[in-house]
Amino acid sequence: MMRFLGEKSPLLFPLLALALICAVAFSLMLWASFGDSAIMDELAHIPAGYGYVHNLDYRLNPEHPPLVKALAALPLLFLNPNFPTNDSAWTKDINGQWTMGAKFLYESGNDANLIVRAARMGPILLTLLLIILIYFWSRELLGNRWALLPALLAAFSPTILAHGHYVTTDIGAALGILSGTYFFLKFLFAPSKRNLFFAGIAFGMAQLMKFSVVLLIPYFFILIAFFFASTVARDWKETDSSARLKRFSVRAWRYFRSVIAVFLIGYFLVVYPLYFLFTLNYPIQKQVSDTEFTLASFADGPPAAGKFCKPLRCVADFDIWMSKNPVTRPFAEYLLGVLMVTQRASGGNTNYFLGEVSSTGTRLYFPVTYLLKEPLPALFIVFIALLLGIWAIVKRVKSYKLKVISYFFIDYLGLNFAEFSMIVFILFYWAYSMKSPLNIGFRHLMPTIPLIYILAASSWKRWLAGTISLRGSAPADDRSNLPKLPGLLRLRLAMTLSALPKLLARYAIFAVLLIWLPLEAFFSAPYFLSYFNELGGGTRGGYRVATDSNYDWGQDLLRLQTFVDSHPEIDKIAVDYFGGGSPKYYLGEKEIDWRSSLGNPSQTQINADENADKRGYNISENLGNNQRKSAIEWLAVSINTLESATQPLALGQNRNPDDEYRWLTSFRQPAVGMGNVPEPDFKAGTSIFIYKL
């Protein structure tokens, strides 16, 4: 053992540091997980995943691949919860995911908290795997110690800590992109059947994480084109002119064939088997009817008789055809999900952002949310690295003058292809995301965040190493005062002393940022989802910038329960909640489902009688003074709902005046400023605003 420690000592410290980083990240995610109620998407994902692994049936939530949901559901098999497969949401509905989720978690005698917390262990483990993969890939590029920087940035990113403990697909997408790219590049650098196989498996696993990962297909073609061009530029002069066409044509075919092989391995050895397993008990008749219904209006629906279908509609019709065949129906279910996501992404989503409510989206959305939701120390690290990178490029271009293209294809790509591949994906994915009208969360940029961190660490390593590279010379006065040393050693010492102030300044900046980074995570805990940096209003004020999964996804219902329990004077409370929890499950008879159109709860009497409405209550308006003691004096509203109801509408948007909470804003005027809503008397967590009426 002593010999082992001695031989491995250079690696021992970084691995211990990585273990500590992972342990802290795990603790923070676990803390947040136990305090957060089910968020909106978990209401669909958790029952869907359980249906896959317990019933081998894929009828729920086909618009997302199965892997994250299935991993999340594995612990539930040991809990043996009641799964209401006799309910019409399962037997009759088309993708009855929301109703099934509510029935499964809150209306079947199950312990909802236990199910949600157990399911979240799968995503938490995937997040730890992401941090570990970031470290080990960075170690190959940067060395043992510098690889800790991108791992640290990821582990203490509030966005990664937030979505890393939810049963959603964003962390899975980041892990899939990172692992898929890593193994594909490994194959390019060292072609072999073994590396080709692993590249295909990693690609297939990535496709099972999130459907946006299908972008790896064009991305891999882009990479192989540049890799091929780099090898041609490298070998051009060495190859006889008469042999160039044959040599490079053969090489191009070999590269193209390899990329296709990666795709085939991924789809036939990974995607198909898992979809085959999870559709095993999905009745083929129901799969066909579900697919036909879901795609009925896709790409303007089926063509008129005698006319050709549009290209996308032809794909939809092909998918319906595949769903009817027992052999191809696993692929049909996969393709259905891809088409559903395509349709959703092009349709947008009504959302609040920067003072207005819109469904059309804006290209400013992702740049602004990136600047305001990333911690400031991480932004400083990234932007200093960006400036350093731009400066390095400028110097290189000046030094090579007219040989820039030659430098790029031979020198740069030959030595920095991994770095180049990361830059390409970041630009490619950001362009795709900014073009989409689906502006519902900074989380959609998650696949690019680890790559940004790795690139930033690379620039910082070069910058800090440059201060001790001993370039330049010491002033004459300094040299005259040096002790009599051998000439070379004396010169090196002089140059080191001259560089020392810059060295100390750069390391001081670096140290401050490294200390600041984890403090941001600790101070925002456990409210990671609502995190905004100081420029964005902080964790308590970020709702003025953007909501939905940036701030309020329904995570604070347990904290509302704690608030109500700690205030015994609350007999009834009206709740307008956005999320995946059940107010009735947590608050019992004290809770009254509410919405703006029902008016002011304090002017409404609640009686439980035979004339009750669907919520179990009779609502009588315009109470007299002698009836006010029976009215509801407390109101709790999710800030996502409140912002969408009260903020100005973008051009062309419409909203029912009854849904605008005018009765609330009429006697509680919002403060002046973007995104301000009536000041609450209390808050449950960060996202549920509580009013004493």
Task: Give residue 502's pLDDT.
Answer: 79
Task: Specify the pLDDT at position 470.
Answer: 34
CA nearest to 22, candidates 132, 136, 123, 174: 132
Three-state secondary structure call for residue 569: coil
- Averaged over 563-570, what is the pLDDT? 96
Using 50, 70 and 90 to split pLDDT, how confident is the model at 348? confident
* Residues 63-89, mean pLDDT to the nearest whole number: 97
pLDDT of 241: 87
Using an 8 Å Cβ cutoff, are 592 and 615 in contact? yes
- d(C-alpha 176, C-alpha 266), whole Å: 12
For residues 5 and 40, the model is more confident at: 40
pLDDT value for 616 = 42
Which residues, 6+ apart, have CB-to-CB distance to 298 below 8 Å?
312, 313, 316, 339, 343
Kindly tell me the burial class for residue 308, based on how many C-beta atoms sit within 10 Å of its own C-beta (0-12, 13-18, 19 or more).
Answer: exposed
Are the CB atoms for 21 and 149 separated by under 8 Å? no
pLDDT for 7: 40
Between 569 and 7, residue with greater pLDDT: 569
Region 602-619: what's the mean pLDDT?
53
**Predicted local confidence at residue 399, as pLDDT:** 74
In this prediction, residue 492 has a pLDDT band, given cuts at 50, 70 and 90, of low
Q: Give 630's pLDDT tier (boundaries 50, 70, 90).
A: low
Residue 536 has pLDDT above 80, yes or no: yes
The confidence band for 615, taking pLDDT boundaries of 50, 70 and 90, is very low
Let me know the angle formed at the C-alpha of 184 by 180 and 185, rounded to the nearest 5 degrees: 120
Q: What's the mean pLDDT in 305-309? A: 81
What is the mean predicted confidence (pLDDT) over 410-436?
93
Please tell me whether residue 475 adopts helix, strand or coil conformation. coil
Q: Which residue shows structure tokens 């697909």?
A: 169
At residue 265, does pLDDT exceed 70?
yes
Which residue has better confidence, 329 or 489? 329
Tell the residue number behind the tokens 């696949």, with chain if given: 447
What is the mean predicted confidence (pLDDT) over 330-341? 96
Write out pLDDT tens, residues 368-407.
Answer: 999 999 999 999 999 999 999 988 888 877 776 657 787 7
d(CA 94, CA 366): 33
For residue 74, pLDDT beyond 70: yes
Taking only the tens place, the pLDDT of each residue in 135-175 is 999 999 999 999 999 999 999 999 999 999 999 999 999 99
Percent of the chain topping pLDDT 90? 74
* Confidence (pLDDT) at 491: 55
* Residues 668, 539 contacting (CB under 8 angstroms): no
Query: What average pLDDT does the structure give for the chain?
Result: 89
Q: How many CB atoms lie within 10 A of CB 285?
A: 9
pLDDT confidence bin for 4, thresholds 50/70/90 = very low
| pLDDT above 70: residue 330 | yes
Residue 367 pLDDT > 60, yes or no?
A: yes
Give the model's pLDDT for residue 478. 43
The answer to whether 147 and 458 are in contact (CB under 8 A) is no
- Tokens at residue 70, please? 């299935």
